[in-house]
Amino acid sequence: MKKILSLFVLGTLVSVTQAQAQPAAKSPVKTPGNVKIATKPVAKVAAAAAIFKSSADSASYALGVRIAQNLKSQGLDPLVAAMFQKGITDGFAGKKSMIADEILDLCIGNYQQKLSAEKSTVARNAGKAFQAQMAKKPGVVTLPSGLQYEIIKNGTDTVKPKLSNTVKCHYHGTLINGEIFDSSVERGEPVSFPLGNVIVGWQEGLQLMTVGSKWRFFIPADLAYGDQQKGSNIAPGSLLIFEVELLGVQ
């Protein structure tokens, strides 16, 4: 369980260090796979002088925000704010913990697993209901794996990618509620990546496409990220929807 805290602390410190080196930006979800995507810096927001009386004030607040972001990205949400604050206060004050030190990490891990299981159950049920409805829609094909797709347009090329190929794509990823979690289309820049490095739903689906085609995929959790939390947007067990345009194969 110490690995949970180590990753959390490291993530927080890395976030703070990176923020010193560049303007704050929303971290993209590396959705298709290990794809590095540049983000555009957000506009600077002036500090509220009436609230922050010193650099310690602003740094303390900033660290609190980073901690919350990291916890949320690990699926540790919701938390009881009053208890969380008391834990921090007691820890800084050097007070004896209300929970034995040897089981602190166990408490965190157990709660994280509980939340993950609950979120996964809800998301998977919603995904199954969604796919059942999509299966009735004309033009939607359901494959034995559970992957569903519909063709928006077919390309004129005959080339289809293999797992050993690098593909160039434009994609737009949403959840079943319509929330966008990642989109090369919105960034205005397509991405290239080895097809063998991405989620199984992409691997299966893109091998069916020809260059120039644009398809919409409905990818169940078992072909996406399973019961993992991915960033703050993709909950465990989530079904993912992608519009993918295959631009090239290498």
Read off the pLDDT of residues 61-81 as tens digits, 9 standing for 90 and up.
999 999 998 998 888 888 998
From 67, 108, 176, 199, active-site residue = 199
From 108, 176, 182, 218, active-site residue = 182
What does the pLDDT read at residue 48?
57
Structural element, H or E, at residue 3: helix 2-21
From 193, 225, 234, 241, active-site residue = 225
User: Which contacts (CB < 8 Å, 24+ apart) does range 22-27 have?
Assistant: 27/231
182 labelled catalytic: yes
242 labelled catalytic: yes
Collapsing DSSP states into helix, strand and coil, what is residue 244? strand
Average pLDDT, the chain: 85
From 67, 130, 149, 171, active-site residue = 171
What does the pLDDT read at residue 106?
96
CATH of 1-250, one of 3.90.79.10, 3.30.70.270, 3.40.50.300, 3.10.50.40: 3.10.50.40
> Which carries the bigger pLDDT value, residue 18 or residue 161?
161
181 labelled catalytic: yes
10 Å CB burial of residue 41 (0-12, 13-18, 19+) is exposed
Q: What is the mean pLDDT of residues 180-190?
A: 96
Residue 171 has pLDDT above 60, yes or no: yes
> Please, are residues 67 and 50 in contact by the beta-carbon 8 Å criterion?
no
From 149, 181, 193, 218, active-site residue = 181
Task: Enter the pTM of the model.
Answer: 0.74
217 labelled catalytic: no
